């Protein structure tokens, strides 16, 4: 099954399409991860999603020091020595990605692929039977899906023509006019809350949360809504902060709150991207504390899930 040939094609930058996903909405789903985000959360488990351009990811454990990449690099950004192995000068690298094609060991990988609506839609439709049998569907995530609004709107419109259940996973940090284009095309919003204190939010993510909360209030009218929060010890896991999150959930009519305990998945990816990991002191709350927070939310009459 494919999009009608008269539909307008639009390219988007996608960094992953995850099939058989069970953590991004109801049922079995396909999650399309769009590349690029205006928030720079230091705990991000997918730091490769943040730039609005393709990235070079280096998997050192795959390298066999064959030196093919060094010979191919037109910028001379790659060197290999017995003492240090392969070294890549990110300052010299101009992201031409010629080196990737020469590496037969997949130690150099491209993150971010320009794809058309038709291409993504056809991949999504491969699992149509699973969606129908599990009440699943398609989730558009990121990065930030609203960073590529036109592409996402056309992809969602194609999905709705086939009566697929659609969900949007968003931080809500986008102009309202962009949100308005997407909302009629989604059945469920997964809204990511990082921190309710505006100063903490700006200090850690680089942007304030005023626009996010304004958009949340407007978007929640008439839409199914789940709130999600990365749970980080000594950052946003206090009883008071979680109680405030419950209050927000009640105001906007959220069906449930999802607590997503912090993990260090982003640390190795930052190394692969040649970037420092800026949240090295972050830790995961212990199980006892997570259970306590879960009880606080349930006591207020809201459903809560951990990790999804």
User: What does the pLDDT profile of the chain (308 residues) look like in tens digits?
Assistant: 333 334 456 899 999 999 999 999 999 999 999 999 999 999 999 999 999 999 999 999 999 999 999 999 999 999 999 888 999 999 999 999 999 999 999 999 999 999 999 999 999 999 999 999 999 999 999 999 999 999 999 999 999 999 999 999 999 999 999 999 999 999 999 999 999 999 999 999 999 999 999 999 999 998 999 999 999 999 999 999 999 999 999 999 999 999 999 999 999 999 999 999 998 888 999 999 999 999 999 999 999 999 98
Could you give the 3-state DSSP secondary structure of residue 306? strand
Estimate to the nearest angstrom the gap between the alpha carbon of 157 and the chain centroid. 21
For residue 80, give the H/E element and its range. Answer: strand 78-81
Do residues 297 and 243 make contact, with C-beta atoms less than 8 angstroms apart? no
CATH 3.10.450.50, applies to 11-51+113-306: no
What are the residue ranges of CATH 3.20.20.70 in the chain?
11-51+113-306
Q: Determine if the pTM surpasses 0.85.
A: yes
Do residues 195 and 209 make contact, with C-beta atoms less than 8 angstroms apart? yes
Q: ω into residue 101 within 30 of 0, thus cis? A: no
Query: Between the CA atoms of 111, 273, 40 and 42, what dihedral angle is there, to the nearest 10 degrees?
Result: 130
pLDDT digits (tens, 9 = 90+) for 100-145: 999 999 999 999 999 999 999 999 999 999 999 999 999 999 999 9
- Strand 11-21 versus strand 29-34 pairing type: antiparallel
- Strand 78-81 versus strand 85-88 pairing type: antiparallel
Give, in order, the Cα–Cα distances in Å from 128 to each of 9, 25, 66, 133, 246.
Answer: 22, 16, 43, 9, 35
* Residues linked to residue 165 through DSSP beta bridges, in sequence order: 137
pLDDT at 222: 87
pLDDT at 57: 97
pLDDT digits (tens, 9 = 90+) for 80-93: 998 889 999 999 99
Give, in order, the Cα–Cα distances in Å from 79 to each of 70, 90, 121, 286.
Answer: 6, 12, 41, 44
Q: How many CB atoms lie within 10 A of CB 250?
A: 12
Going by C-alpha positions, the residue among 291, 270, 294 that lies closest to residue 282 is: 270
What are the residue ranges of CATH 3.30.70.20 in the chain?
55-111
Going by C-alpha positions, the residue among 231, 256, 52, 81 that lies closest to residue 142 is: 52
Helix axes 149-161, 117-124, angle to 10 degrees: 40
For residue 130, give the H/E element and its range. Answer: helix 128-134
Going by C-alpha positions, the residue among 273, 229, 276 that lies closest to residue 110 is: 273
Do residues 14 and 48 make contact, with C-beta atoms less than 8 angstroms apart? no
DSSP label at 49? G
**Structure-block tokens of residue 4:** 């009608």
Could you give the 3-state DSSP secondary structure of residue 46? coil
- Name 217's Cβ contacts closer than 8 Å, sequence gap at least 6: 251, 252
Phi, psi of 230 (to 5 degrees): -65, 130
d(CA 165, CA 187): 6
For residue 170, give the H/E element and its range. Answer: strand 165-170
d(CA 265, CA 210): 29
* Residues linked to residue 30 through DSSP beta bridges, in sequence order: 138
CATH 3.30.70.20, applies to 55-111: yes
């Amino acid at each position: 099954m494919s999009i009608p040939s008269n539909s307008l094609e639009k390219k988007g930058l996608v960094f992953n399409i995850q099939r058989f996903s069970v953590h991004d909405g109801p049922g079995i789903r396909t999650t399309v991860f769009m590349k690029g985000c205006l928030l720079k959360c230091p705990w991000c488990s997918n730091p490769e999603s943040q730039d609005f351009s393709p990235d070079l990811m280096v998997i050192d454990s795959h390298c066999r020091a064959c030196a093919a990449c060094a010979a191919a690099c037109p910028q001379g950004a790659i060197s290999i020595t017995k003492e240090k192995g392969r070294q890549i000068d990110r300052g010299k690298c101009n992201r031409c990605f010629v080196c990737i094609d020469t590496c037969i060991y997949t130690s150099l990988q491209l993150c971010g692929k320009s794809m058309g609506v038709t291409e993504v839609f056809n991949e999504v439709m491969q699992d149509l039977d699973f969606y129908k049998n599990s009440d699943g569907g398609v989730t558009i995530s990121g990065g930030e899906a609203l960073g590529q609004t036109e592409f996402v709107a056309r992809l969602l419109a194609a999905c709705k023509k086939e009566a697929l259940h659609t969900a949007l996973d968003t931080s809500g940090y986008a102009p309202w006019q962009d949100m308005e284009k997407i909302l009629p095309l989604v059945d469920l919003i997964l809204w990511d809350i990082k921190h309710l204190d505006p100063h903490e939010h700006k200090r850690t993510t680089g942007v304030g949360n005023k626009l996010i909360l304004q958009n949340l209030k407007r978007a929640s009218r008439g839409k199914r809504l789940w709130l999600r929060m990365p749970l980080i010890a000594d950052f946003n896991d206090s009883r008071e902060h979680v109680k405030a999150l419950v209050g927000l959930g009640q105001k906007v009519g959220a069906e449930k709150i999802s607590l997503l305990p912090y993990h260090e998945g982003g640390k190795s990816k930052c190394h692969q991207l040649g970037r420092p990991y800026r949240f090295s002191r972050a830790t995961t709350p212990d199980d006892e504390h997570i259970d306590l927070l879960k009880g606080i939310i349930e006591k207020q009459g809201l459903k809560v899930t951990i990790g999804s």
